[in-house]
Amino acid sequence: MDKVKILIAEDEQITAMDITEILENIGYEITDTASTGEQAIESVKENKPDIVLMDIRLEGKMDGIEVAEHIRSQYRIPIVFLTAYYDETTVERAKKTEPCAYLSKPFEEIDLKIAIELGIYRARLESEKEALINDLQKALSEVKTLKGFLPICSHCKNIRDDKGYWNQIEGYIQKHSDAEFSHGMCPECSDELYGKEDWYIEMKNEEKQKK
């Protein structure tokens, strides 16, 4: 099984190194560390991590919440916030990016591992759901249906199309739907066509005797 790839966006180098060591010891792969939002976005584009550990406070013009919003909208990669900031305004802003976890520094190793695993699991479910929706939409787009009023001859049962031409009912339905026909004959029509034929009378008698 491939290792989970993680990007660490953290403006404090020592903290980034500590997190890297912890995660590598657990068995994760660190694709990169970034101290600015711009670096984090570029690293995501180049390395395609499975999940991002995001400090809300970053160097540069963008904070972690702005970076997370960009990453989620463009790459659908799950985000785990690692931060010491828990004021109500910050939390409300962070919630709008739909993070899979919000861990307060300092955090325990087990809490970090659980947050990562839940984030990966959630991302996989979202991917499978999206694939299922796409498959259903594709299937629905291929479904042909007949609707509305169909002008049909009361005698021969031919159908008139929108160009004024009369078509056999089988051909018309096959053209406008996914139905296929296998031809047979109902008992009433069989009696009408062959009712006076000796072989037919004999066959019907044999069927009656079997019953």
Q: Examine the domain organization and report whether 121 and 153 are in the same domain.
A: no
Residue 1: pLDDT band by 50, 70, 90 thresholds?
A: low
Query: What is the rounded average pLDDT for all residues in the chain?
Result: 85
Q: Are 134 and 96 within one domain? A: yes
| 131 and 200 part of one domain | no
Identify each DSSP E strand in 3-115 by its residue range.
5-9, 29-34, 51-55, 79-83, 101-104
Residue-range definition of the domain harbouring residue 199: 186-211
Residue 143 pLDDT grade (very low, low, confident, very high; cuts 50, 70, 90):
low
Instruction: List the CATH number of the domain containing 24.
Output: 3.40.50.2300
Same domain, 20 and 104: yes
Could you tell me if 93 and 195 lie in one domain? no
Residues 45 and 99 in one domain: yes
pTM score, whole prediction: 0.63
Examine the domain organization and report whether 87 and 129 are in the same domain: yes
Total of domains in the chain = 3
- H-helix or E-strand containing 51? strand 51-55
pLDDT tens-place string over residues 14-60: 999 999 999 999 999 999 999 999 999 999 999 999 999 999 999 98
**Residue 62: pLDDT band with limits 50, 70, 90:** very high
CA 140 from chain centre, in angstroms, equals: 14
Residues 32 and 43: their CA atoms lie apart, in Å, by: 7
- Does residue 106 share a domain with residue 88? yes
Q: Are residues 10 and 105 in the same domain?
A: yes
Do 95 and 121 sit in the same domain of this protein?
A: yes
Do 132 and 159 reside in the same domain of the chain?
no
One domain, residues 49 and 151: no
